[in-house]
Structure 1
Amino acid sequence: MQTSQQSTKERILSAAEVLFARHGFEGASLRQLTAAAGVNLAAVNYHFGSKDRLVEEVFRRRLDELNSRRLKALARIAGQPETTLDDVLAAFIKPALELSHDGSGTLFMRVLARAFAEHDDTLRKFLSDNYGHVMRQFTAEFARLLPHLSKEELYWRIDLVSGALTHAMSGFGMIQRKSDVTETVHREQTAAHLIRFSAAGLSHP
C-alpha cells in the first residue's frame, strides 16, 4: 500500500507530466501544477526542492525502467556471433514502444519530444549524464555489426533512428491504430516496420 507521502509525490509527478506535455517546461507554471495535483507549493518544494529537480524526476520515473529493460535485452545478445542488426534494434526499440503504449506512456513521449525541441541544455545534460551510458552500449554493438561505417557516420544514423523512434512513440504520426486492431498488434506492427526501416538505414553502404 502506498503511503500518503508516496501518493502525494506520484500525484505531483503525474500532473507535471500532463502539464509539461501540454505547455512545455517553461510554459507550465508551478501554480498550474499545484492546482492540477491538488497540493500546495510547500508540498512541491518538500518532495523536489525546485522545478528543475521536478523535471528530472518526471524523466527518472519512466527512463529508469525503460533503460533497465533495454540493457537486459542487450545483455542477452551483445557480442554473440549469431546476433543480427535486427536483434539489437529490437532490444532498443521494443521496450520503448511497450512503454509508449502503457497507459500514460504516450504522454511521457511527448514530454521527451519537448526536451529535444526546446533545446534545454540543463535537461540535455541531465539526460546525457544519467542515460548516456545506455546509448554507448548500444552504439558499441552497432559498431561491431557495422564495421564499414565511420564513427561519425554511425552516430548520424543512430541519431536519425532515435528520432524516428521518438516520433513513433509520441503518437504524432499519420498512421494511427485502426479500431479493429488491438494495441498489442498495432505495437508489434510499429516495431516490425521501424526495425526494418532502421536496419536498412543503418546498414546502407
Structure 2
Amino acid sequence: MPKPAQFSTKDRILSAAEELFAVHGFAGTSLRQVTSVADVNIAAVNYHFGSKENLVNEVFRRRMDEMSAARLAQLARANAEYPGQLRAVLAAFVEPALAIAGQQHNGGAFVRVIARAYAEKNDNLRKFLSDHYGHVLREFARAIAACLPQLSKEQLYWRLDLLAGALTYAMADFGLIKRPAGISETDHRARAAHELIQFAEAGFRAAATP
C-alpha cells in the first residue's frame, strides 16, 4: 500500500489499520502488521492511540464523523425544504453513506470494515458506535416517524435496521449489479442511491401489521 509522504504518521497508521481490518478483521490483525504496513514503530501507535481498541475506534471515527455530519446536515435541509416527505429523509440517510464509499483514499476499504463490524462480535466497538453515533439513527427515526405516524416504534426500528443492512451491502458493491463499462463511479453510486431509496420507501410504507 502506498505511504505518501504528505500523510501524517497518524494518518498512515489509520490507513494501514483500515486496510488490514478490511482484509483480516479486527481480531485477525496485529499491531505488528499495522506498524509494518504504515512503516512506523510500535511506539508511534502507542503514542497516538494507546491501545488496539482505541485504534479500532479511531478508524471508525475518522470516517463516521464526516458521514454523520453530512447526514444530519442533509436531514436538516430535508426537514426544512420538504417537510413530511419520506423520500427526502431516506435520501439524507443513503446518499452521504454512498458518497463515503466512493471516496478516494480507501473509501471502499472502510465499507468492508463496516461489514466486519456487523459480522464480528466486538462488544466494545458496538458500544463505541452506539455511544457516539446512536443519536444519528435516533434523529432519522424521529424524522421517519413524523412521515409515517401509523408505524409502531418497533416496526420503525425493524425497517430502519433493514435499510442500514441493505445500505451496507450496496456500499460494498457485493451484489449482482456491477458498474457497467463507460459509466462513472459517481453515476453508478447515484443509480444505486436512487434504487435503494425507492426500495426503502416502499418498505417503510408497507402496511403496518400487528
Detail structure 1 runs of 4+ shifted over 3 Å in the superposition. 79-83
Q: CA offset at residue 78 of structure 1? A: 2.2
Native 8 Å contact 1:167 1:173 kept in 2: yes
Matched, 1:125 2:163: no
CA distance in 2, matches of 1:60, 1:133: 14
**How is 1:28-177 mapped onto 2 (pairs within 5 angstroms)?**
28-78=29-79, 82-103=83-104, 104-177=106-179
2:114 corresponds to which letter in structure 1?
Answer: L
Q: CA offset at residue 6 of structure 1? A: 6.6
> Relative to structure 2, which stretch is displaced further, 151-160 or 168-177?
168-177
Quickly say closer, same or farther: Cα 1:97–1:61, change in 2 above 3 A.
same
Q: Where does structure 2 lack aligned partners over 5 or more consecutive residues? A: none
Matched residues, number: 202
Matched, 1:190 2:189: no
Identical pairs, percent: 57
So what's the TM-score if we normalise by structure 2? 0.93
Q: CA offset at residue 84 of structure 1? A: 1.1
Native 8 Å contact 1:79 1:141 kept in 2: no
CA distance in 1, matches of 2:124, 2:21: 16
CA distance in 1, matches of 2:6, 2:48: 9
Native 8 Å contact 2:82 2:88 kept in 1: no
Matched, 1:17 2:18: yes
Native 8 Å contact 1:18 1:107 kept in 2: yes
Tell me the residue number matched to 1:181: 183
1:31 corresponds to which letter in structure 2?
Answer: R
- Secondary structure at the residue paired with 1:128? helix
1:116-161: per-residue Cα shift (whole Å, max 9, x none)? 1102111000000000000000000000111111110111010000
1:40-76: per-residue Cα shift (whole Å, max 9, x none)? 1111001100000000100010000000000001111
Q: Where does structure 1 lack aligned partners over 5 or more consecutive residues? A: none
So what's the TM-score if we normalise by structure 1? 0.95
> Relative to structure 2, which stretch is displaced further, 80-89 or 65-74?
80-89
Native 8 Å contact 2:84 2:146 kept in 1: no
